[in-house]
Every structure is written in C-alpha cells, then in structure tokens.
Amino acid sequence: MNRPSDGELVAAARAARERAYAPYSGFRVGAALRTDQGEVVAAANVENASYGLAICAERAAVAAAVALGHRRFEAIAVAGPGPDPVTPCGACRQVLREFPRGVDLEVLCAGEAGERLLATTLGALLPDSFGPDSLAPPAADPAPNPPGNPPGVPRTPPIGPPGNPPGVPRTPPGS
C-alpha cells in the first residue's frame, strides 16, 4: 500500500471539513489521521446545542480510528476555516498524546484552502505533557491473599456476636 503524502492527508482533512456539523459556531474543522499501516481515517467536528457536548474533528478521527482497530498514528492533518492554519485545541492535543507516537506525532495544520501549512509535532504543541509514560506502574500486591479471598480483597478478622469485641467468644446464658 502506498503511504498517502502529507498533501493527500491535508486534502482528506479539508474534504472532511465539508461534512462538519457546526450550526452554532459555523467553525467547520476536518481532521485526517495517517495510521502506521498507511490508512487515512478522517472526521469532522460535531456541535451540539449543549455546547460542552461538542466533539472536535481530531477526537472524532481518533475515535473512528480506534473503532477500526488502529492504535498507532504517524500524522494528523487539521483543516479549519479561513486562510490561516488551525491547530488542535488543548483537549485534542492531550487525547493525541495518549497513543504510542506521543510527542513525536506529526501535526499538519492548514486552512480551508491555499498553500499555507504549519508542520510541527505534538511535542511542540504540548510541551512538558502528561501521558501514559507519566503514570507509575501499578503497585505490586504486598502479600498474596489467603485461600478463599478474591484477588484484591484483604482478609478480614472474624467478628464476634453483636456486643462482643472481635475475637471474644460469646458467653452462654447462665454461666
């Protein structure tokens, strides 16, 4: 399979931009991811009357790619309105950071037409970022559970009858 060029990736983002659903802001954005297998997955932003529920084109493209089984991306192209290049928002930068290429992901930012292009990396757009490698590995279980307890459930001491402290047997009446 021939790998799509950067120009083809930008063209895919611009085509996706035309399918954006942006009735409130009119700010139509398209994004196209190039996977490590050379496939292109494109998507557009989708707005909502409840503004906070809108989804950006970049995150829509990531979700579509993941749904198709992709986890490794070489580059993303983003195309927005007007002649100036549009960069991903902070939330999209953080979502892109999650995947294996991380800060080395190529980011191609374009406007709706013309030759102006900002070619950069995710690391340049999101310096000193937090990602999967920032998390400490899970702590080892200090002691195995005794037989009969499911993993992660600590053994609890037996509890005596109501009114007696734990471990103190109940005294039969009349003793």
Strand partners, 21: 46
Task: Report the C-alpha gap between 171 and 175 in whole angstroms.
Answer: 7
Structural domain that includes position 64: 6-119
Residue 126 lies in a domain: no
Residue 132 lies in a domain: no
Question: Is residue 18 over pLDDT 90?
Answer: yes
**β-pair type (73-79, 106-110):** parallel
Residue 101 lies in a domain: yes
Task: Report the C-alpha gap between 111 and 86 in whole angstroms.
Answer: 6
Q: Are 20 and 28 in contact (CB under 8 A)?
A: yes
Query: Which structure tokens are listed for 140?
Result: 């080892």
pLDDT band at 2 (very low <50, low <70, confident <90, very high): confident
Longest CA–CA separation in the chain, Å: 98
3 state SS of 133: helix
pLDDT in tens, 80-122: 999 999 999 999 999 999 999 999 999 999 999 988 999 999 9
Which pLDDT value is given to residue 6? 97
Task: Report the C-alpha gap between 153 and 146 in whole angstroms.
Answer: 10
Q: Are 80 and 27 in contact (CB under 8 A)?
A: yes
DSSP letter string, 80-107? -SSSS--PPPHHHHHHHHTSTTGGG-EE
Residue 142 lies in a domain: no
pTM metric for this prediction: 0.77
Using a pLDDT cut of 70, give the percent of the chain over it: 78
Residue 168 lies in a domain: no
**In CATH, what number is assigned to the domain containing residue 60?**
3.40.140.10
Give all strands (DSSP E) within 7-126, no chain letters: 30-35, 40-44, 73-79, 106-110, 117-121
Among residues 39, 58, 98, 106, which one is catalytic?
58
pLDDT band at 136 (very low <50, low <70, confident <90, very high): confident
Q: Verify whether residue 58 is a known catalytic residue.
A: yes
Residue 26 lies in a domain: yes
Please tell me the total count of domains within the chain. Answer: 1
Dihedral sign for Cα 161, 166, 172, 174, please. negative
Residue 22 lies in a domain: yes
Which pLDDT value is given to residue 14? 98
Residue 77 lies in a domain: yes
